[in-house]
Amino acid sequence: MKKSTRFSSDDTQSRFELRTLLETSRMLIESQDPDFVLNNLLLITMGKLMVSKGMILIRKPGQYSYVISKSKARGWHKEGTDITLKLEVDLQKNPILRGDEYTEVFTQLGVSEQSTLFNLRTSNHHLGFLCLGPKGTQQPLSDHELEFIESLTIISSVAIANSRMFQELRQINRKLDRKVHDLNTLLELSKDFNLMVDRDEIARVFKFAMLGQMLIRTFFFALDVDDKKTIVAQSGLNEDPSQENLDALFELDDVTHCVQDNDSAFLTNNDIKLVIGLRFQNEKIAVVGVGPRANNEGYEDAEVNFLESLGNLALLTIQKTLLLEEQIEKRQMEEELNLAKTIQEGLLPDPLPTIEGFDIAAINVSSRQVGGDYFDIIETPDNGHLLAIADVTGKGVPASLLMANLQSMLHALAPIDVTLNEATGSINDIIHDNTPSDKFITFFWGKLSENRQKLTYVNAGHNPPLLFRKGEEEPVLLEEGGVILGAMPSMMPYESSEIEFREGDLLVLFTDGVTEAMNPDQSEEYEEHRLIDCLNRNRDKNSENIMQAIIDDINSFSNNVQYDDITMIVLQVS
């Protein structure tokens, strides 16, 4: 019989979401129309989460005043509606507000507590909120969905800020030609930066912009990545900053006009006049410091804003390169995991051997791309068969490697004339001597005699298989054996036991992923008694259908959420 297999769509979904973010980033950041940005943000997020209600609140001048800029919801506020939403300053910085945590906020807003508010905010400014109603499935938003929408709101917030900046500068530029020049410069640099993936090239263009556009010969650009602060671009410094200097720079206010008598020796020695902090998701992750301008002009609000915008463009581009590198590494890892999954699936018997007098079905469903559960059915030279099932501690690649080692040992031992007791002891010693102390295996195996009438078995700390005799509802537990594999050296020999099969017998081997499956609120396990009840309800079916009935019962109990690998062998005596 052919084993059942579950295929995951995580790889396809991750690639689609990455492509969506990259394409949306390009489209929104290049847009100069806030209405276009907001409309696309609302439609994309509602479509992603399959929600029927959504709106965007844009903050107006004044602490508590908002306007409904976009609305796609019956019974909610209409577009153009002004509302008052009293929020503490800290709440205007929170990336996500949930209805069950901030009931008062959602009551003021007049929407369901099952809704969610996503903050629209640049590094320095709170722009408003994206409000999404509950999903059509009434399920809460997953962490993965929250991260995706939060990333999209970050991109959209930058796009909104950039488009607002463009419109405001365009109005001012009608009076000031210099503003036109600044705006054109930022737009051109933005296009240049958007095409770059090399951080050295980004630093070079930033340096030329400082020299050519602002007439600044002395400057530095410091970046904080994973708490490691480094200089990514500089010009005209008399000395490189120490790690202590860099830490002190990140402690300054976001805009600091330097006073020579009170500032650090590093700033004084390098004649730094202005230090600007750059934020991402409200966290300061970059600092730009500049010396005097060649034309001896000072740094007014317009110059500070230009430098901040220029720095943010460079910073966002650097963040993009970091994200791309991370995604490339993730994609490579996923490809390697897919290959590992293919190899691991090849270690399991496919198709299952046919054993005369028995109806056999087996399945392995991993909770990840690769797992630590294992089963096997191996024919021996004396025309007998070995039945084996195992569960390696942990999940993922380490568990799969240990599983592969166990598989190779079983296949090496199958042709050798050695008792199960001795073979189990040898396997235990090899695993104990060659694996970390926190890695071990629960293991059960048995040898089916040549005449198919007896099964000699050893249980090494595994969930006891259930043997149902014809006409009996309570199973016999196959428990005889010893300690789990790898926990300690074989100080005492493993013990074996023997059962005789009768017509109509049913034997079920399983891993703890079956009995330890959790209900949706993770307050109760599936447990052995539910498995026994399910088997008694389906005894009249063949092995394949019995196995599927168990899986269906587990999925119904856990609401299709799987936390551990599930592996089973179901054997019926014809």
Q: What is the pLDDT of residues 200-258, one digit of tens each?
A: 777 777 777 777 777 888 888 888 888 888 888 888 888 888 888 888 888 888 888 88
DSSP state of 516: T
Q: Counting beta carbons within 10 angstroms of the beta carbon of residue 101, is it exposed (0 to 12), middle (13 to 18) or buried (19 or more)?
A: exposed
Select from 309, 253, 326 the least CA-distant residue to 284. 253
Full-model pTM: 0.48
Select from 84, 147, 94, 87 the least CA-distant residue to 120. 94
pLDDT in tens, 137-158: 888 888 888 888 888 888 888 8
Asked whether the predicted pLDDT for residue 497 surpasses 50, the reply is yes
Work out whether the CA dihedral 318, 323, 326, 327 comes out positive or negative: negative
* 2 confidence band (pLDDT: 50, 70, 90): very low
Among 160, 195, 215, the domain-final residue is 160
Asked whether the predicted pLDDT for residue 177 surpasses 50, the reply is no
**Do 48 and 127 reside in the same domain of the chain?**
yes
Q: Counting beta carbons within 10 angstroms of the beta carbon of residue 83, is it exposed (0 to 12), middle (13 to 18) or buried (19 or more)?
A: middle
Element (H, E) at 143: helix 143-173
**Do 259 and 312 reside in the same domain of the chain?**
yes
Range of the domain at 246: 176-321
**Do 413 and 562 reside in the same domain of the chain?**
yes
**Do 483 and 450 reside in the same domain of the chain?**
yes
Q: Are strands 255-257 and 228-235 parallel, antiparallel or unpaired?
A: unpaired
Q: Counting beta carbons within 10 angstroms of the beta carbon of residue 275, is it exposed (0 to 12), middle (13 to 18) or buried (19 or more)?
A: buried
Note whether residue 338 is domain-resident: no
Asked whether the predicted pLDDT for residue 7 surpasses 50, the reply is no
Among 160, 194, 216, the domain-final residue is 160
Note whether residue 492 is domain-resident: yes
Left, alpha or beta for 222 (phi > 0: left; psi -120 to 50: alpha)? beta
CATH (domain of 472): 3.60.40.10
Asked whether the predicted pLDDT for residue 6 surpasses 50, the reply is no
Work out whether the CA dihedral 25, 27, 30, 34 comes out positive or negative: negative
* 60 confidence band (pLDDT: 50, 70, 90): confident
Torsion angle in degrees (nearest 10) through CA of 150, 152, 157, 160: -160
- % of the chain residues with pLDDT over 90: 27
* 567 confidence band (pLDDT: 50, 70, 90): very high
Question: Could you tell me how far CA 54 lies from the centroid of its own chain?
Answer: 25
Asked whether the predicted pLDDT for residue 460 surpasses 90, the reply is yes
**Structure confidence at residue 483 (pLDDT):** 93
**Do 133 and 199 reside in the same domain of the chain?**
no
* 3 confidence band (pLDDT: 50, 70, 90): very low
Q: Which of the residue ranges 20-24, 105-109, 246-250, 428-432 would you say has the lowest mean pLDDT?
A: 20-24
Q: How large is the C-alpha radius of gyration of the chain?
A: 33
**Structure confidence at residue 182 (pLDDT):** 60
Note whether residue 341 is domain-resident: no
* 559 confidence band (pLDDT: 50, 70, 90): very high
Asked whether the predicted pLDDT for residue 37 surpasses 80, the reply is yes
28 or 178, higher pLDDT: 28
Distance from C-alpha of 104 to C-alpha of 85, rounded to nearest angstrom: 10
Among 160, 190, 208, the domain-final residue is 160
**Structure confidence at residue 189 (pLDDT):** 67
Q: Are 439 and 499 in contact (CB under 8 A)?
A: no
Select from 553, 565, 573, 438 the least CA-distant residue to 508. 573
User: Between the CA of residue 260 and those of 221, 266, 272, 544, what are the distances in Å?
Assistant: 20, 11, 9, 82
Distance from C-alpha of 125 to C-alpha of 161, rounded to nearest angstrom: 9
CATH (domain of 217): 3.30.450.40
* 341 confidence band (pLDDT: 50, 70, 90): low
Note whether residue 337 is domain-resident: no
Which whole number is the average pLDDT over 164-185? 62
**Do 187 and 126 reside in the same domain of the chain?**
no
Work out whether the CA dihedral 442, 394, 410, 573 comes out positive or negative: positive
Note whether residue 329 is domain-resident: no
- CB proximity list for 514: less than 8 A, separation 6 or greater: 463, 526, 531, 550, 554, 566, 568
* 14 confidence band (pLDDT: 50, 70, 90): low
Distance from C-alpha of 545 to C-alpha of 534, rounded to nearest angstrom: 12
**Structure confidence at residue 358 (pLDDT):** 94
**Structure confidence at residue 88 (pLDDT):** 81
Note whether residue 197 is domain-resident: yes
- Find residue 275's DSSP bridge partners: 256, 289
**Do 248 and 108 reside in the same domain of the chain?**
no
Residue 346, helix vs strand vs coil: helix
Select from 552, 544, 551, 553 the least CA-distant residue to 567. 551
Instruction: Kindly state the tokens that stand for 258.
Output: 């330097």
Q: Are 55 and 131 in contact (CB under 8 A)?
A: yes
Number of domains in the chain: 3
Highest mean pLDDT among 24-38, 47-61, 307-321, 356-370: 47-61
Asked whether the predicted pLDDT for residue 381 surpasses 80, the reply is yes
Which whole number is the average pLDDT over 94-100? 88
**Structure confidence at residue 15 (pLDDT):** 64
**Do 250 and 367 reside in the same domain of the chain?**
no
**Do 144 and 201 reside in the same domain of the chain?**
no
Distance from C-alpha of 236 to C-alpha of 220, rounded to nearest angstrom: 9
Note whether residue 120 is domain-resident: yes
**Structure confidence at residue 178 (pLDDT):** 56
**Structure confidence at residue 117 (pLDDT):** 92
**Do 464 and 544 reside in the same domain of the chain?**
yes
Distance from C-alpha of 505 to C-alpha of 557, rounded to nearest angstrom: 27
**Do 408 and 307 reside in the same domain of the chain?**
no
Distance from C-alpha of 360 to C-alpha of 543, rounded to nearest angstrom: 6
Residue 246, helix vs strand vs coil: helix
- How much is the mean pLDDT over the chain? 83
Distance from C-alpha of 350 to C-alpha of 32, rounded to nearest angstrom: 58
Q: Which of the residue ranges 157-171, 356-370, 463-477 would you say has the lowest mean pLDDT?
A: 157-171
**Structure confidence at residue 5 (pLDDT):** 42
Which whole number is the average pLDDT over 487-513? 92
Distance from C-alpha of 440 to C-alpha of 443, rounded to nearest angstrom: 10
**Structure confidence at residue 147 (pLDDT):** 87
Cα angle: 499, vertex 503, 505; to 5 degrees: 60
Burial 103-121 (b: 16+ CB within 10 A, else e): eebbeebebeebbbbbbbb
End-to-end CA distance of the chain: 15
**Structure confidence at residue 261 (pLDDT):** 54
Asked whether the predicted pLDDT for residue 1 surpasses 50, the reply is no
Note whether residue 330 is domain-resident: no
**Do 419 and 297 reside in the same domain of the chain?**
no
